[in-house]
Chains A and B, each alone.
Chain A
């Protein structure tokens, strides 16, 4: 029997993989993809509870999360392109101009 706990564990594992990707990788595009993994983990949680409670509100919120993810991808990839045009790299270790 698959309970919401199983879906929560799957979601948590996916979330942790995404966080690991954000922390470990130095490639800006891979970091953005890890953020997409994190948002997917959130969506799985929302949909699992939507099914458990027999209530479509969780799926409505998942739709909003997808819309925000699309906006984030568009703006983030625009930033990546602008950064690449200036620095000829997408390594985030080079992104330290505004650090201090």
Chain B
């Protein structure tokens, strides 16, 4: 049983590592900057999966929320604001793009429908013999450390974020 668990962990690790490194290489080598940003999102999501494998669920959620949800959107905004090199002729065939969009939307719709049907059926067997809840969950452990031993660095980090916010606002003002 332990061997099987280790085997599963090894397979998961190697698959995740291959995806992480592959998407990292694509980020560095892709010509189109928008593609770079999208590969970066994929890379961050696989790193989040690696965190789950390592038992750091809180960090995985933070990775998805802050990196894939916040920072990458910021990058995408800047790429869109800056990228004036692409000629407008790149969009001269809107029908093909709309076909792709419809296909993606259909896939998402099927997925959402499958989830809804699956959830409505609700007859999933309860996980028998659920493991005992650990004394301190992952999130609780990190929160405890953040608010006791690492309170000063935590406050310094919040001040750093405030300074960065003000700095970004000042930098993007018209006259500087």
Do residues B78 and A69 form an inter-chain contact, with CB atoms below 8 A? no
List residues of chain B with CB within 8 A of the CB of A69. Answer: 67, 71
- Flag whether B70 is at the interface (Cβ < 8 A): yes
A-B contact pairs, 29 of them (CB 8 A): A1-B6, A2-B6, A2-B10, A10-B20, A14-B24, A17-B24, A21-B28, A30-B33, A34-B28, A43-B59, A47-B56, A56-B145, A63-B59, A63-B62, A63-B142, A64-B153, A66-B63, A70-B70, A70-B164, A73-B71, A74-B74, A74-B167, A74-B168, A75-B168, A77-B168, A78-B170, A78-B172, A82-B176, A84-B81
Decide: A27 near B78, CB < 8 A? Known: A34-B27, A51-B55.
no
Bitwise interface map of B from 31 to 65 toward A, beta carbon under 8 Å scored 1, else 0: 00100110010011001001100111011001100
Q: Do residues A60 and B28 form an inter-chain contact, with CB atoms below 8 A?
A: no
The 10 lowest CB-CB distance pairs between A and B, nearest first, are A78-B171, A71-B164, A21-B28, A78-B168, A56-B141, A74-B168, A17-B24, A67-B157, A51-B54, A77-B78
Complex contact A73–B33 (CB within 8 A): no
Contact A40 B145 (CB under 8 A): no
CA distance A64 to B24 in the complex (A): 22
Q: A72 to B171, alpha carbons, bound, how many Å?
A: 13
Contact with B along A57-98 (1 / 0, CB 8 A): 101101110111111111101111110100000100000000
The interface centre, meaning the residue of A40, A56, A67, A81 with most chain B CB atoms within 10 A of its CB, is A56
A residues near B9, Cβ cutoff 8 Å: 2
Residues of B contacting A: mostly: helix
A interface, over-half SS: helix
Q: Give B175 Cβ to nearest chain A Cβ, in Å.
A: 10
Q: Which residues of A contact B13 (CB under 8 A)?
A: 2, 6
Contacts of A1 in B (CB 8 A): 6, 10
When distances are taken between beta carbons in the complex, the residues of chain B under 8 Å from A50 are 54, 56
> What separation, in Å, do the CA atoms of A62 and B142 have in the docked complex?
11
User: Within 8 Å CB of A6, what residues of B?
Assistant: 13, 17
Residue of A at shortest CB range from B33? Answer: A29
Cβ of B25 under 8 Å from chain A: yes
Give Cα A14–Cα B21 distance, bound, in whole angstroms: 6
Quick check: B43 and A60 within 8 Å, CB to CB? no
Query: Measured between C-beta atoms, what is the minimum distance from B171 to chain A in Å?
Result: 3
**Whole-angstrom distance from the CB of A24 to the nearest CB of chain B?**
7
Q: Which chain B residue has the least Cβ–Cβ distance from A14?
A: B24
Nearest-CB residue, chain A, relative to B154: A64
